[in-house]
Chains A and B, each alone.
Chain A
Amino acid sequence: MSAHVTPPPAGEVSLRVDRVTKVFADPTGAPVTAVDDVSLAVYAGEFVSLLGPSGCGKTTLLRIIAGFETPTAGEIELAGQRVTHLPPDVRGTAMVFQSYALFPHLDVFENVAFGLRVRGTGAAETRERVADALALVGLEGLSRRSPDQLSGGQQQRVAVARAVVTRPRVLLLDEPLSNLDAKLREQMRIELRRIQREVGITAIYVTHDQVEAMTLADRIVVLDRGRVQQLAPPAELYARPANAFVAEFVGKVNLLEGRVLETRDGACRVALPAMEAVVPSARRVEAGVRVGVVVRPETVHLAQEGALRGAVRRAVYLGSQVEYEVEVGGELLQAIGRSPLEEGIFREGQDVGVTIGFQVAHLLVLDGEA
């Protein structure tokens, strides 16, 4: 709780995005700002995820980095070199496409070798590096298969091997797991992280799935409507979201609105509609300011006993846990009941005691931010 701002990772900057804006014309010709004044620096060997809902500009930003789009304003630097107006084939970025984009007329080996062949790499070296890349993704022995003879997960691995074999400056991944089923997705997540660490490559990973971003990335850039909402490591993003959008997009949340009564000793006393809460706050917030209190569902505990009473309105049994909606003083709160095998399940309509973990909640100032 001591440091509220994580110091930027040390080391060499691998990718710099400097005040990049991209304006498209929509079908009617009206301008649409897909990326709006975005700046960020990614350090060598870092795994950064661009996270946001569809249409937030994350894929456009990735395509600008790869060189498929030219920014309306701003600059892109790769390893200190300005590449904003270079065509994609000389940038040394390697991309893993959402659709994998494997060459259907080439076999696995030739797909992986493509980037080496167009660079004029010698035959022996090509063979060796392709074999290494295929070993890295666990596809030894499939090199003469055609892409359509592979499963989705195998195609995914070929796409990754094809990208890393060229030893790119940065690896760009555009929702690479979205075409896989849930089980495989989880497995590939672990694989991707292992491969990225093993190769020590800088990676930019676009996704709309917050779980993917949380499990993979060193830092996450949350984008909405083309703007950076927050840039932080996963734990900080979850514990201390910068605004209501981040709080609601990353994980589930109870966002309770109220007004500050007073700030004292690093905490605010907040008047909520149904109760009063003391929430930690590093900054001094004036009395009367409208605030939001970010309470994660797993910090809301239900029990038979308790001073604060509520009524269970909904209970969804998920095996490892139960998701509740509980009404407290006219307000609906999400809560999580752990280990139902041990703790049992509360029924809908049941009267329960509610404990809210305000001591680990996060305070958002809603007034005066706009």
Chain B
Amino acid sequence: MSSAGVANAGLPQGRGGLRRLLADPVILLAAALIQAALLIFIIWPLLRVLVVSLTPGGVLSLDAYRDQLRSWYVQRAVVNSLMVGGLTAAVSVALGFAYAYTLVRTAVPFKRIFHLLAILPIVSPPFVSSIAIILLFGRGGIVTSGLLGLRDFNIYGFKGLLLAQVMTFAPVAYLVLRGVLEGIDPTLEDAALNLGARRWTVFRRVLLPLAVPGITSAFLVVFIESLADFGNPLLLAGSAFPVLSVQAYLQITGMFNLQAGAALSVLLLVPSVTAFILYRLIVGSRRYVTVTGKPGRSSLKATSPAATWLLFGVTAATAGVVVMFYAVIVAGALARTWGVDNTPSLEALRYVLNVGRETIRDTLAIAVTATPISGLLGMTIAFLVVRRKFPGRGGLELTSLLNFALPGTVVGIGYILAFNQRPLLLTGTMAILVACFVFRYVPVGIQAGIAVLRQIDPSIEEAAQNLGASSVVTFRRVTLPLVRPAFFSALVFAFVRAMTAISAAVFLVSANWNLMTVQILSEVGSGRYNAAAAYSLVLLVLVIAAIGIIGLVLRRGYSPVQGRFL
């Protein structure tokens, strides 16, 4: 029997599977359309970057890379990018861990406020820290030149960039590590204490080993983000401290050298993708655990009072810096001329709302268009990946996630190279910005959707089908309501990023379609710090209002798992 079983194992099942697929053409069609879209908007631009960088003068060669790497300035940029990435990641993870540990594992006051303060940088444009740092410590900064009277203090360069990136990305590390610490059952620590281990031993021998995969993935995520960061280095690195993302941008917009820009962006891509592969290996080996609804009760006894207060001090100091940064943004937006005349004035805000009205409208229109598309696409892909079998399923998940690892600079350059001729002539349109945001930020929705779906008993959807609901009806009436928390996260994330993104978008804006973030950079570039601060303030208010609205629309009714994002 067993040999007969082997013999007809492959063929009839394959035939039945195909027949079943054809019986459900909607799924097949959706899968095919999504795969085509991912090919066009993710793979094709990436290929264009590679092809252009590898074929200078129309022949296949590594000349573009050789030329670039021969220059000591580019060599410095490579070293600087990697060094800042590694240091930012290390400091961010250390700070994020202390912050998360304090909030999850100790009994200290003001936890809710500390949490919200950590979220604030995540929903801000990624270079708000830089603006705050310039307002505080720059040439006209209130601390350096105002308070201390320093005339020749220079915040630009390595120090300033590291500070800005840590303040920008430590919150990301905090969120990842918070999830990790919440996932470790505190009864394990209680058990270790009960067996006679001292608190420090418990931390070192129980908690830390359990948290290592999470700590490593937090490190890699921040490393990827830091490498890809464009706004902070543009504002703070200065010409004496070149980094790759800025150099690639300058090659293209300053020198109109697409090849050099493409080659530099690929140099950025290599460490990024390497880190991403490591990250996937770590995350992929972790099993999803079903929520049992039996939370382990934490006794919060595993930390000594001295350590608790030390941690509380670190947390409070970090939160204090966040408060200071945002306070100075508000102050900057409301000052007459920063550093010269700090008396209150609504001039900058009035300027932004008048001169910048069209930019604000463009930004909102693009974000409002990209958000629902990204959210629905994310949920659909998550559903297809988790619940359906079809040809190319593994490729679908991988492609959609790959985009997460691509530095914005690569994506931006890829888009201008890929969509500058018919039939895909999109440069200068709203569509190119929407497409960029949709496909760039869909991975977060996919990941959230996959995580929630894996926790939902598949028989709930089977029950719907069994009762006569087609695939589409099942998705709309059962799956989508069930993944609402993930849907919420996906929408919020897509909106926040569409409003605050810069590294890819800076290549794609045009006279017709400009973005607030790009405008902020240009205001800083022209020395109009008040306007930059005012733009940032308006942007922040819009983002927070939008999160509230999305929450109101979606939060009614059932929520099986609390949304992770906020």
A residues touching B (Cβ–Cβ < 8 Å)? 21, 23, 25, 31, 33, 36, 66-68, 70-73, 85-95, 97-99, 101-105, 114-115, 118-119, 146, 162-163, 166
Taken together as a complex, chains A and B put the C-alpha atoms of A166 and B281 apart, in Å, by: 47
Chain A proximity of B544: nearest CB distance (Å): 28
- The reply to whether the CB of B424 lies closer than 8 angstroms to some CB of chain A is no
Q: Mind listing 19 A-B residue pairs with CB under 8 Å?
A: A25-B9, A68-B466, A70-B13, A73-B12, A85-B20, A87-B20, A87-B471, A93-B466, A94-B466, A95-B462, A98-B459, A99-B457, A102-B460, A104-B560, A105-B484, A114-B469, A115-B468, A118-B467, A166-B468
| Closest-CB distance, B543 to chain A (whole angstroms) | 28
Q: How far is the CB of B336 from chain A (nearest CB, A)?
A: 54
**Residues of the B chain whose Cβ atoms lie less than 8 Å from the Cβ of A102:** 460, 463
On whether the beta carbons of A118 and B459 are closer than 8 Å, the reply is no
Given A89-B465, A95-B466, 15 additional A-B pairs, CB 8 A: A23-B9, A31-B6, A33-B5, A68-B465, A72-B16, A87-B470, A87-B471, A88-B462, A92-B468, A95-B463, A99-B459, A104-B482, A105-B482, A115-B468, A118-B473
B343 beta carbon closer than 8 Å to chain A: no
* Distance of A88 Cα from B24 Cα, bound (Å): 11
From A70, A86, A97, A162, contact of B17 by CB (8 A):
A70
Indicate if the CB atoms of B13 and A89 lie closer than 8 Å: no
CB atoms of B16 and A87 under 8 A apart: no
CA distance A101 to B477 in the complex (A): 14
* Cα–Cα, bound, A66→B8 (Å): 23
Q: How far is the CB of B328 from chain A (nearest CB, A)?
A: 45
B43 within 8 A of A: no
**Residues of chain A contacted by B470 (CB below 8 angstroms):** 87, 89, 118
Asked if B462 contacts A68 (CB within 8 A), the reply is: yes
The answer to whether A33 touches B2 (Cβ under 8 A) is yes
- B contact residues around A33 at 8 Å (CB): 1-2, 5
Contact A88 B460 (CB under 8 A): no
Cα separation A91 to B20 with both chains bound (whole Å) = 14
For the complex of A and B, 4 pairs with smallest distance between CB atoms: A115-B467, A70-B16, A105-B558, A31-B9
Q: A321 vs B18: C-alpha distance in the bound complex, in angstroms? A: 57
Among B8, B24, B466: residue with most chain A CB under 10 A: B466
Question: Which of chain A's residues have a CB closer than 8 A to the CB of B560?
Answer: 104
Is B478 interfacial (CB 8 A cutoff)?
yes
Distance A276 CA – B47 CA, assembled complex (angstroms): 85
Q: Contact check, B20 vs A88: say whether CB atoms are below 8 A apart.
A: no
CA gap between A103 and B481 in the complex, in Å = 10
Q: A70-B20, A101-B459, A104-B560 are in contact. Are A87 and B465 (CB under 8 A)?
A: yes
Q: Choose from B1, B467, B474 the contact partner of A166 (Cβ within 8 Å).
A: B467
Q: How far is the CB of A179 from chain B (nearest CB, A)?
A: 12
B12, B481, B484 pick with most chain A CB within 10 angstroms: B12
For chain B, residues 1 to 59, give those with C-beta under 8 angstroms from any C-beta of chain A. 1-2, 5-6, 8-9, 12-13, 16-17, 19-20, 23-24
**Chain A contacts for B477, CB-based, 8 A:** 114, 118
- B558 — nearest CB in chain A belongs to which residue? A105
Report if A23-B8 is in contact (Cβ < 8 Å); known contacts: A68-B462, A118-B467: yes
CB distance from A39 to the nearest CB of B (A): 16
The residues of A that contact B462 with a CB separation of less than 8 Å are 66, 68, 88, 95, 97, 101
Chain B neighbourhood of A163, CB < 8 A? 467
Q: Which residues from A are CB-within-8-Å of B423? A: none
Q: Are A97 and B5 in contact (CB under 8 A)?
A: no
* Most chain B CB within a 10 A radius of its CB, from A88, A97, A166: A88
Q: Report yes or no: A71 in contact with B23, Cβ–Cβ below 8 A.
A: no
Q: Are A119 and B468 in contact (CB under 8 A)?
A: yes
Interface presence of B109 (CB below 8 A) = no
Q: Which of B9, B12, B459, B467 contacts A162 (CB 8 A)?
A: B467
* CA gap between A71 and B8 in the complex, in Å: 11
Cross-interface CB contact of B465 among A88, A119, A162, cutoff 8 Å: A88
Given A23-B8, A25-B9, A99-B457: A105 and B557 within 8 A (CB)? yes
Chain B contacts of A90 at CB under 8 A? 468
Residues of A with C-beta under 8 A to B20 = 70, 85, 87
Contact A94 B5 (CB under 8 A): no
The answer for the CA separation of A103 and B467 in the assembled complex, in Å, is 12
**B459-A97 in contact (CB<8A):** yes
Q: Does B464 contact A (CB under 8 A)?
A: yes
CB neighbours (8 Å) of B9 from chain A are: 23, 25, 31, 72
Q: How far is the CB of A167 from chain B (nearest CB, A)?
A: 11
Collect the chain B residues with CB atoms within 8 Å of residue A101's CB.
Answer: 457, 459-460, 462-463
**How far is B471's CA from A220's CA once the two chains are assembled, in angstroms?**
34
Find chain A residues with CB under 8 A from B17 CB: 70
Min CB distance, B101 to chain A, in Å?
33
Cα distance A162–B462 when bound, in Å? 13
Closest to B22 in A: A85
> How close is A90's CB to chain B, nearest CB, in angstroms?
7
Q: How long is the Cα–Cα vector from A129 to B478 in the complex, in angstroms?
A: 22
Chain B residues whose C-beta falls within 8 Å of the C-beta of A72 in the assembled complex = 8-9, 12-13, 16
Most buried by B among A94, A102, A118, A162: A118
B30 nearest CB across to chain A (Å) = 15
Is the beta-carbon distance between A87 and B23 smaller than 8 angstroms? yes
> Is the Cβ of A105 less than 8 Å from the Cβ of B465?
no
B557: A residues at CB distance < 8 A: 105
Provide the residues of chain B in CB contact with A92, threshold 8 Å.
468
Q: Are B23 and A86 in contact (CB under 8 A)?
A: yes
How many Å from the CB of B453 to the closest CB on chain A? 14
- State whether A114 and B465 are in contact (beta carbons under 8 Å apart), knowing that A23-B5, A71-B16 are contacts in the complex: no
Q: Which residues of B contact A89 (CB under 8 A)?
A: 465-471, 474
Residues from chain A with Cβ under 8 Å of B16 in the complex:
70-72, 85
The minimal Cβ–Cβ distance linking A65 to chain B, given in whole angstroms, is: 11
Q: Roughly how many angstroms separate A88 CA and B473 CA in the complex, as a whole number?
A: 13
CB contacts (< 8 Å) of A68 on chain B: these are: 462, 465-466
Q: How far apart sit A86 and B16, CA to CA, in the bound complex (Å)?
A: 10
Q: How far is the CA of A235 from the CA of B484 in the complex (A)?
A: 51
B280-296 near A? 1/0 per residue, CB < 8 Å = 00000000000000000
**Residues of chain B with a CB closer than 8 A to A86's CB:** 23
* Least distance between B159 CB and chain A CB atoms (Å): 52
Bound CA–CA A364/B444 (angstroms):
63
Residues of A within 8 A of B484 (CB): 105
Separation of A99 and B290 alpha carbons in the complex (Å): 14
Task: Report the minimum CB–CB distance from A15 to chain B (whole Å).
Answer: 15
Which residues of A lie under 8 Å from residue B23 when comparing CB positions?
85-87
Q: Report the bound CA distance from A67 to B464 in whole Å.
A: 13
Q: Given A31-B6, A118-B473, is A88 in contact with B466 using a C-beta cutoff of 8 Å?
A: yes
Within 8 Å CB of A21, what residues of B? 5, 8
Q: Which residues of A contact B463 (CB under 8 A)?
A: 95, 97, 101-103, 162
Bound-state CA distance A68–B466 (Å) is: 9
Give every chain A residue within 8 A of B558 (Cβ-Cβ).
Answer: 104-105, 146
Expressed in whole angstroms, the Cα–Cα distance for A3 and B467 within the complex equals 42
Distance in angstroms between the alpha carbons of A342 and B188 in the assembled complex:
53
Output the least CB separation between A18 and chain B (Å).
15
Q: Mark B539-562, 1 if CB is under 8 A from A, else 0.
A: 000000000000000000110100
